[in-house]
Amino acid sequence: MTKKEQKDAAMDQLFGGLTNPATTVSESPSGQQDTSPAVSGTAPVSPKQKKYTEENERVCTIINYELAYKARKIAEREELNIREVYEEGLRRIISAYEAKNGTIRVARKKGKKGDTDKLSSL
C-alpha cells in the first residue's frame, strides 16, 4: 500500500463516522473496536476539476477550542499538517451534503488584480 493509500485509509477511518451514518462499530476478538464504513470510496475527480480543486484560498475562522485541539492532535498523531485534517473533514461533510441536496456549483475565480501576465499583451 502506497503512502497516499495509507493516508486515505487513515482519513477514511478518522472521518467515517462523522459523515457516513452507515458506519459500523464492532469489537474484534482482541477487544479493540473496529470502525469501518459500510460504504467506502469517493468519486473520481476529472483532470479539469482536479486543477481547480488544487487552488487554495486562505480562510480565517473562529472555532471551538476543543475541536481545534482535537484536530491538532489528530494531525500530530497521523503525521499530517493541520490543513489536511480540516480539508478532509470539509470534503467529507460537503460530499455528504451534496449527496443529499445536489451538487453545489463553484463559480470560477476572476483574474488576479494587477496580473503582470497581462502586460505582455499590451
The DSSP bridge partners found for residue 34 are 26
DSSP 8-state code for residue 95: H
Provide the 10 A C-beta neighbour count for residue 116.
7
C-alpha cell at 56: 487554495
- Fill in the amino acid letter for 63: I
pLDDT value at residue 1: 78
Secondary structure (3-state) at 111: coil
Between the CA of residue 56 and those of 19, 25, 52, 81, 112, what are the distances in Å? Answer: 23, 35, 9, 15, 14
pLDDT value at residue 35: 45
pLDDT value at residue 86: 94
pLDDT value at residue 28: 46
pTM score: 0.48
pLDDT in tens, the chain (122 residues): 787 777 777 777 766 655 454 444 444 444 544 444 444 445 555 555 554 455 788 889 999 999 999 999 999 999 999 999 999 999 999 999 999 999 999 887 666 666 667 676 66
Q: What is the torsional sign of CA 61, 79, 94, 38?
A: negative
C-alpha cell at 4: 497516499
